[in-house]
Structures are given as C-alpha cells and as structure tokens.
C-alpha cells in the first residue's frame, strides 16, 4: 500500500488541476493520495470525482500557513468540516493576506529594475484561489528573469531577500484548535525543513502535542536522515502519527515526485483514528476518507 498524504494542485501552487493530479498519482502507483492545497479546500470535489474514476483512495485536507516566532510554519489539516465558519474565516483571512501582498512584491521587484505586471502573475495562477510566491516566481521565469522557481526564490523571494514581503498567518496552536473544532486532524508539515527548523524544537512540538496535534511529517524531502530519526523518536514519545509524503507540486518543484515518500499503513490508521475522534468530539459533519481498496 503506497500512501502519499501531502500534494498540491493548481488550486494553490501545484501545476496540475486536481483531476490530473489524482490520475497521475494512480499512474505512479499511489494507492491513497492526500490533497493538501495551501489555505483552500477548492480542489476537493474535482479530486473526489477523479479518485472514484481512477479507483484510488483520497484523503482531503489543506496545508494551513502559520507563523511562530517570526518563522513560517505549515499545518496540514486532514478531513475537517469544510463549512466550519471559524476555519473558513481563518483560511479566508490568510488568502486575503496572500493576495494583498502581491502588488507590494511587484513594487519591490520594480525597485530592483524588474518589470512584472499583475497580469504576468495571473497568467501563472489560472485556477488558484490565492496567489503565492511560487506564482510570482513562475512569472519571473516566464519573463526570463530567473531560470526556475528556486532561482527566483534565491534571488528575490525568500525571507531576507529584497522582494520578500510578509503576510498574515495565525499561530500553530490557534490553527490546531480551529482544525480540531472543525472535526479534523492537525499534522505538522516538514517541521525541521527551511525556516521552521529553528523554532519547532522538541519542547515546542511537545506543547503543540498537548494542544491536540495528531501527527508530524517525518519522511519529507526537506529532512535529512538524522532529522528523520530524531522526529520518528519524538513522534513515538509524544504518541503522534509519523507521516511520510512527497509534497508534490507538479512541475513546480523537482525532487518531489508522487509517492517518493510514503506513510506506513499503521501510522495512517493512527491518523484516521485521531480524525474520527476529533470528528466525534466536534459534533460536525466531516468528509470521510475515500478508501475503495480498504486499508
């Protein structure tokens, strides 16, 4: 059983529409796919139809942008009620902040002699419900200012570079609370990758576990073998599900092929257990995982 619980479609900053993403996952031998677009549930329905046609499992979710101690932290939210008013409002606030910062980024780029229009960015984000730096990066590539997304981030868009602009993001404890109240299972995405590595110490992850965190991503492209070992032990200590996922973005990110990292069946069962518990306690109507092959 190949279980890959973290992927992005063109509803956020992946490059394939949800149905294409699901079909590609099936072709890549993935048995269960998690759809976790940034800060939106917009791809769920299309992905579900495609999963039924392809006969593969689907777990719907989102990757919610958070910030702690000035560092960006990502929280995966699996199987929450997508109509929960508080959660919907939180995601809308995050998306509004994303969209509002794009003109400021373009302003900063202009100060660096780079002429990029809102239309250039829109051309790279046809299906997206909100804009991210990856769309600006793609526009920079399309205009010949950068060779690929990574190059554009390294030159201008990463934290600390000249066109970096911050945006609204809630704290991870607040998001855990919102996700649980919406009947979903919150999981820390790549806690020791990029910027969040410095802030998400064992102690902080312990506090988030107390707050109701259900799992932690262990096997991920941005984690070294040593980091994975540490996180696996921490997850066992804190009774958290230990996940492994590709964080696939289509053509938007290399080294993130569908199914390149996977989650053990026993850890997946643990995650579903936690989601079921949260759903019962919340009293909300939550989406069921679609598992045509059982687990």
Name the residues that contact Zn ion, by CB under 5 A.
13
Among 153, 156, 261, 268, binds ligand AMP (CB under 6 A): 153
CB of 201 to ligand AMP, least distance (A): 21
Footprint (CB under 6 A) of ligand AMP, residues 111-150? 132-134, 149-150
Which tokens belong to 32?
């269960």
Interaction between residue 220 and Fe ion (CB under 5 A): no
Q: Does 217 bind Fe ion (CB under 5 A)?
A: no
For the chain, the residue count is 295
Least separation, in Å, of the C-beta of 37 and Zn ion?
Answer: 8
128, 10 Cβ separation under 8 angstroms: yes
Are the C-beta atoms of residues 285 and 201 closer than 8 Å to each other? no
Note whether 223 binds Fe ion by CB under 5 A: no
Does position 247 bind Fe ion by CB under 5 A? yes
The one segment of 117-125, 217-225, 232-240, 243-251 that binds Fe ion by CB under 5 A: 243-251
Sites for ligand AMP among residues 5-24 (CB under 6 A): 13
- What is the C-alpha separation between 111 and 59, in angstroms, rounded? 43
Q: How many residues belong to the site for ligand AMP (CB under 6 A)?
A: 9
- Per CB under 5 A, contacts with Fe ion among 54-113 are 63, 74
Under the rule (CB under 5 A), what is the footprint of Fe ion?
Answer: 63, 74, 189, 247
Under the rule (CB under 6 A), what is the footprint of ligand AMP?
Answer: 13, 38, 132-134, 149-150, 153, 158
């Amino acid at each position: 059983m190949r279980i890959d619980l973290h992927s992005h479609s063109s509803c956020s900053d992946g490059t394939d529409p949800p149905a294409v993403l699901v079909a590609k996952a099936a072709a890549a031998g993935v048995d269960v796919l998690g759809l976790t677009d940034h800060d939106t549930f917009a791809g769920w329905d299309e992905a579900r139809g495609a999963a039924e046609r392809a006969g593969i499992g689907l777990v719907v979710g989102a990757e919610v942008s958070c910030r702690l101690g000035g560092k960006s932290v990502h929280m995966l939210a699996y199987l929450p009620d997508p109509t929960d008013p508080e959660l919907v409002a939180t995601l809308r606030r995050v998306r509004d902040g994303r969209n509002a910062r794009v003109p400021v980024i373009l302003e900063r780029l202009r100060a660096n002699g780079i002429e990029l229009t809102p239309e250039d960015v829109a051309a790279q984000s046809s299906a997206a419900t909100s804009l991210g730096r990856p769309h600006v990066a793609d526009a920079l590539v399309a205009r010949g200012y950068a060779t690929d997304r990574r190059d554009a981030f390294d030159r201008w868009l990463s934290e600390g570079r000249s066109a970096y602009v911050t945006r609204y993001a809630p704290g991870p404890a607040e998001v855990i609370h919102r996700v649980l109240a919406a009947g979903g299972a919150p999981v820390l995405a790549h806690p020791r990758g990029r910027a969040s590595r410095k802030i998400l110490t064992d102690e902080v992850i312990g506090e988030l576990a107390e707050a109701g965190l259900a799992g932690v991503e262990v096997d991920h492209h941005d984690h070294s073998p040593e980091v994975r070992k540490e996180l696996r032990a921490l997850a066992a200590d804190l009774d958290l599900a230990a996940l492994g996922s590709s964080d696939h973005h289509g053509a938007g990110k290399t080294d993130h092929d569908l199914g390149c990292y996977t989650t053990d069946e026993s850890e997946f069962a643990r995650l579903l257990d936690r989601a079921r518990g949260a759903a019962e306690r919340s009293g909300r109507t939550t989406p069921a995982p679609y598992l045509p092959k059982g687990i």
